[in-house]
Structure 1
Amino acid sequence: MATLHTRSAARLMMAPSVILLFAWMIVPLAMTLYFSLLNYNLLTPETEAFVGLLNYTYFLTDPAFLQAIGNTLLLVGGVLLISVIGGIFLALLLDQPIAGQGIVRLLVIAPFFVMPTVTALVWKNMLMHPVYGLFAWIARGLGLEPIDWFAHLPLFSIVLIVAWQWLPFATLILLTALQSLDQEQQEAARMDGARAVSLFIYIVLPHLARAIAVVILIETIFLLSVFAEILITTGGGPGTESTNITYLVYAQALLQYDIGGASAGGIVAVVLANIVAFFLVRLIGKNLDA
């Protein structure tokens, strides 16, 4: 009986926070759903009219939508590939006893705490600028023609910028998992004649499987909504070559002032993100239960 009263009191105390959080989420979603059924343009608000699912039809049949889907998948996949492989390499490197290990780890993790807008500005103006950027200076020093990254390789450039931000996160998670590896097991394998490559493939990598799954899950959820890096560097261009779903919704809302179409795009983006999250959670759950 005492336990029942304790649980009831706990639920009662949590109720205000849960209700506030629910309202915080449901009100914007309900308003977005409402506007997605309207023909509503900020330049001509007096022409507001109910159009049903027409906004969804226009958004889903827009050629830019299919390219945005492809760009989103390439962006997520590219960043995951770089951050996971690079994170494993850096974790193995940082796990070795070296002088100033604490400072080195801090420097490796530091990029994760830099704001995306600042990161994009640094990469755009100091590293990838075709005239006075560091990469252009290196190319000229080697006798090569500098690359205009954001004009010729826009999506790849954004993948590099975002991967640089998320690489420290993957490194930190994987390093933590690596340090929990049983050293006696590795020593036994070495005594049996196992080489470094075999040790990594059959002992280290399986041990890191759960950590890799967690990195993929968390990064994917955030990478589906990359925006600041695209806005600061390419503006979704040239054309729509670096436009993802998030930027496409922004362009319709604040560049074309089409609130109805942008709201429909927002609902589509939420649905797609939840589908991806659902399958990822199931996949990760199976991995963690194994």
Structure 2
Amino acid sequence: MAINRFMQQRRRVNTLPLVAPSVLVLLVWMIVPLAMTLWFSVQRYNLLNPTLTGFAGLDNYVYLLNDPALWRAMWNTLVLVGSVLAITVVFGTLLAVLFDQHFPGRWAARLLIIAPFFIMPTVGALIWKNMLMHPVNGIFAWITDLFGLPPVDWFANLPMLSVIIIVSWQWIPFALLILLTAIQSLDNEQKEAARIDGAGPVQMFFYIILPHLRRSISVVVMIETIFFLTIFAEIYVTTSGGPGLATTNLAFLIYIKALLQFDIGAGSAGGVIAIVLANIVAIFLMRTVARTMDS
């Protein structure tokens, strides 16, 4: 009776006053910047010409949609996101299978392979730019010199590939962590049964491990896509969006419009376009993940 009376009292407790402050802070934190972005996107607001003010309507959007830089930035964003996703998922899966095996020093190797994910993007990009990919003093230049080959100026001749390599290096450990955890949840009896039936390593990978990782791969793709749409630090530190617009993605184009050209209206309109595209991608990915979970 005492337990039932205690449970009834618990049900009468109103938890709204406890939850309301946190919910209110989150709403303000999300809605206020969004509302300001929407407001500035329909205003004439250029820091270089403070006298030019007033309601612009859809002029900022029309200006951006007619700007070839927007479409180049969207294409670069698609190439960057798609390439890094493919690299991180493929290498993350292969490394997860490798590090699931027993070998001497496995824990030290796991620690080292995961380390790049905990390095700040700016620091990682600086290391790649000045210590690895530098055409004169970089390690890659020293290696090519050993073979009598000319050094490669990565950020001038292969700028997009350079950014893809740097971002992939940072995010492969994330995919590895998620997929390694998923592999370790695989039932050992299922693997033993497959080995008894004569399945080799290749058959084990394609018919046992890979189907088991399907849900985890979907989650990795969803999370990484959301982050890759906003890649900025790696581009800012290494190429500054160049040469020309070769590595300018949508996030960096917004930075150029708002903080380099001081056109707050156009930059805000670009931000709204980025929000719309990110939500479309997020809805598609969440539905895909939901279908994968249901199946």
Residue 145 (structure 1) shift: 1.2
Matched, 1:215 2:249: no
Q: Residue 12 of structure 2 corresponds to which residue in structure 1?
A: 5
Q: Does 231-240 or 191-200 show the bigger shift? A: 191-200
Tell me what 2:282 maps to.
Answer: 277
**Which residue pairs with 1:28 in the alignment?**
33
Hey, what's the Cα distance between the residues in 1 that align with 2:25 and 2:191?
51
Aligned residues: 288
Answer yes or no: is 1:43 the counterpart of 2:53.
Answer: no
**Secondary structure at 1:238's aligned position in 2?**
coil
* Deviation, structure 1 residue 39: 1.3
**1:226 aligned residue:** 231
Deviations, residues 19-76 of structure 1 (Å, cap 9, x unaligned): 1110111111111111111111111112112110000011122101111111111111
Match of 2:137 in 1: 132
Query: Given the alignment, which residue of 59, 82, 103 partners 2:108?
Result: 103
Q: How does 1:178-193 map to 2 (within 5 A)?
A: 178-193=183-198
**2:175 matched to which residue of 1?**
170
Residues 96-148 of structure 1: CA distance to partner in whole angstroms, max 9, x if unpaired? 11112211111111100000000110000001111111111111111111111
Deviation at 1:83, TM superposition (A): 0.7
Q: Runs of 5+ in structure 2 lacking a partner? A: 1-7
Distance 1:157 1:237 in 2: 12
Q: Distance in 2 between matches of 1:79 and 1:5?
A: 51
Q: Using the TM superposition, give the Cα deviation of residue 255 of structure 1 relative to its aligned residue in structure 2, in angstroms.
A: 0.7
> Displacement of 1:12 after TM fit?
2.3
Moved over 6 A (4+): none
CA shift digits 1:155-195 (9 cap, x unpaired): 11101100000000000100000111111111111111112
Structure 2 counterpart SS, 1:44: coil
| Equivalent position to 1:114, from 111, 119, 134 | 119
Q: Distance in 2 between matches of 1:274 and 1:4?
A: 37
Mapped partners of 1:27, 1:89: distance in 2: 43
* Pairwise CA distance, 1:11: 2.2
- Of 88, 103, 107, which residue of structure 1 is paired with 2:93? 88
User: Residue 74 of structure 1 corresponds to which residue in structure 2?
Assistant: 79
Say whether residues 1:52 and 2:54 are aligned partners.
no
Of the three residues 253, 260, 266, the one matched with 1:261 is 266
Q: Where in structure 1 are there 5+ consecutive unaligned residues? A: none
* Two-structure CA RMSD over aligned residues (Å): 1.1
C-alpha distance in structure 1 between counterparts of 2:261 and 2:35, whole Å: 22
> Tell me, what secondary structure is at the counterpart of 2:52?
strand
Describe the SS at the equivalent of 2:51. strand
What is the CA distance between 1:2 and its match in structure 2?
4.5
TM-score (norm 2): 0.95
Between the aligned partners of 1:71 and 1:59, the Cα distance in structure 2 is: 16
Q: Aligned partners of 1:5 and 1:244: how far apart in 2?
A: 53
In structure 2, what residue type is equivalent to 1:28? P
**How far apart are the structure 1 equivalents of 2:163 and 2:110?**
25
CA distance in 1, matches of 2:52, 2:69: 26
Query: Is 2:261 the counterpart of 1:251?
Result: no
Aligned to 2:4: none
Deviates more, 1:102-111 or 1:224-233: 102-111
CA distance in 2, matches of 1:253, 1:5: 52
Q: SS where residue 279 of structure 1 aligns?
A: helix
Is 2:150 aligned against 1:145?
A: yes
Task: Specify the SS of the correspondent of 2:30.
Answer: helix
Identity of aligned residues (%): 59
